Every structure is written in C-alpha cells, then in structure tokens.
Amino acid sequence: MPSLESGPAPLWSYGRFLARLQAAALLLALALILPASAAEAPVRIVALGDSLTAGYGLPADAAFPAKLQKALRAKGLAVEVANAGVSGDTAARGLARLDWAVPPGTEAVIVELGANDMLMGLDPKITRKALTEIVRRLGERRLPILLAGMRAGPNLGDDYVRAFEAIYRDLAAEPGVLLYPFFLDGVALDAKLNQRDGIHPTAAAIDIIVARILPKVEELVARVRDQRPK
C-alpha cells in the first residue's frame, strides 16, 4: 500500500491491477466449471464379469477392478475402472444386463465371463452365442474390448475343452478386440493363491492377475486415447 508521504498511486496502475485480477478470477472460474479436455479426461473402463471380477470373498478395495485402477494410476495413467462383476453370472446373464452394466460414457470394456458356464458344464455353443453378442453390441458402440479368456477343466473331456477355449481365440479375431488368453494365469490350482473353495483368488492372487494383465490393459487404454477427438 502506498505511504501518505508518497501520495496515491497513479490510477492507471490500479486499473491494470484490477484487470489482471478479474482475468485471473475468470480463468479460475472456467477451470472449475468446464470439463477437462477429451485428451486429458480419465479413460472410463467397465469390467464386466462374474465373481472373479466382483471380488467374491474380498474387501471392495482388493477386488480386481480396484487394484487394476490403482496399478494403472501408479503408471501415470488417468483411468477409472468400474466394477460391473456379479457373482454367479454366466455369459448369458452378462449379456442380459449389458445395456445398464455398461452405461453411456464408457470408453472401453474388459469382458471376463464364461467361468460359470464351464463350471456348470453348459454347452459351449450357448457361451459362444452370448459372448459373440456381447462383442457385437459393444462393437456397435465402438467400444474397444479386452476379452479375458478362460480355460476348461480337463475333466470335462477333450471335445469340450477344445470347443470352449476356441470361443475366446475366435472372438479375438473381431475388430477392436484384444485377448488376454487366461484370466487366472499364474493363479489357478495354486492352493496358496485361492480361497478355501479352491476357485476364487485371494487378495495376493489378484495382485498377480493385475500384474500379468496390465500390459494388455495399457494397450486398451492407448486404443481409447487414439480414437478420442484430437
């Protein structure tokens, strides 16, 4: 503040100061009310799956989507991963809730379905039909897909194993589909990494799953960013 001895500051200096203050206030207001640009906004991913996605037997922050989001952010990627896993879901049930489970604004989908079909011994043709329709409908929405594959138990017979596992390989040939061949890679059949039921992964197992699938998810994120308006 100017001293009494020096007299008042020239009016033009106050005017310039006020103009700058108003400009700064306007920029701050715009930053608060306007959304981030498409290039900078977080990539919105939905993980559509069964109990392996939902995090059966685990705290919410230990489920696959939560840990995947944390791992991606640790790599400096702005990503939001929504948990759309429902325990007990077959591929057909996942299809039945597809429209509301993958809401508007979603930019990519991780599809992890089929494990319950296999455990129930459903005809692979049923699983194939449902997963094919999921891929088709997401493709119509131009959503990049990461398909998490599943393996069939050898007790179901060679013919079943071949027919079931071929579903994922065949769908991976569709445009816009990435394939992670086996969601439980490094975890399946390891008693230390599974809960008492021998089926559902422990929190430590989820860490392994996330670490192994991460490169494919990073590729999925890159596809989203590539198709955003420049």
Please indicate, yes or no, whether residues 60 and 2 belong to a single structural domain of this protein: no
Please indicate, yes or no, whether residues 113 and 219 belong to a single structural domain of this protein: yes
How many other C-beta atoms are found inside a 10 Å radius of the C-beta of residue 216?
Answer: 17
Quickly state the pLDDT bin for 192 (edges 50, 70, 90): very high
Please indicate, yes or no, whether residues 171 and 221 belong to a single structural domain of this protein: yes
Q: Indicate the residue type of 79.
A: V
Q: Which residues of 195-210 are buried (b: 16+ CB within 10 A; e: fewer)?
A: eeeeebbbbebbbbbb
Please indicate, yes or no, whether residues 133 and 207 belong to a single structural domain of this protein: yes
pLDDT in tens, 195-212: 999 999 999 999 999 999
Res. 228: pLDDT tops 90: yes
Check: CB of residue 183 under 8 Å from CB of residue 213: yes
pLDDT, residue 40, reads 76
Residues noted as catalytic: 51, 197, 200
Please indicate, yes or no, whether residues 161 and 210 belong to a single structural domain of this protein: yes
CATH of the domain at 70: 3.40.50.1110
- CA–CA separation, 154 vs 21, rounded Å? 72
pTM above 0.85, yes or no: no
Quickly state the pLDDT bin for 230 (edges 50, 70, 90): confident
Please indicate, yes or no, whether residues 207 and 105 belong to a single structural domain of this protein: yes
- CA–CA separation, 225 vs 14, rounded Å? 46
Please indicate, yes or no, whether residues 12 and 29 belong to a single structural domain of this protein: yes
Res. 172: pLDDT tops 50: yes
First to last CA, the chain: 47
pLDDT, residue 46, reads 98
pLDDT, residue 156, reads 98
pLDDT, residue 92, reads 98
Please indicate, yes or no, whether residues 22 and 129 belong to a single structural domain of this protein: no
pLDDT in tens, 67-81: 999 999 999 999 999
Question: Mean pLDDT of all residues in the chain?
Answer: 88
Residue 182 belongs to domain spanning: 43-227
Q: How many domains does the chain have?
A: 2
pLDDT, residue 33, reads 43
pLDDT in tens, 1-38: 333 334 444 444 445 534 444 554 444 444 444 444 55
Please indicate, yes or no, whether residues 23 and 96 belong to a single structural domain of this protein: no
- CA–CA separation, 109 vs 138, rounded Å? 8
pLDDT, residue 88, reads 98
Quickly state the pLDDT bin for 39 (edges 50, 70, 90): low
Please indicate, yes or no, whether residues 102 and 195 belong to a single structural domain of this protein: yes
Please indicate, yes or no, whether residues 79 and 146 belong to a single structural domain of this protein: yes
Please indicate, yes or no, whether residues 4 and 59 belong to a single structural domain of this protein: no
DSSP letter for each residue of 170-203: HHTTSTTEEEES-TTTTTTT-GGGB-TTSSSB-H
Question: What mean pLDDT do residues 121-125 have?
Answer: 98
Angstrom distances, CA of residue 89 to CA of 116, 125, 159, 181: 7, 17, 24, 20
Name the residue among 70, 48, 42 with its Cα closest to residue 224. Answer: 42
How many other C-beta atoms are found inside a 10 Å radius of the C-beta of residue 165?
Answer: 19
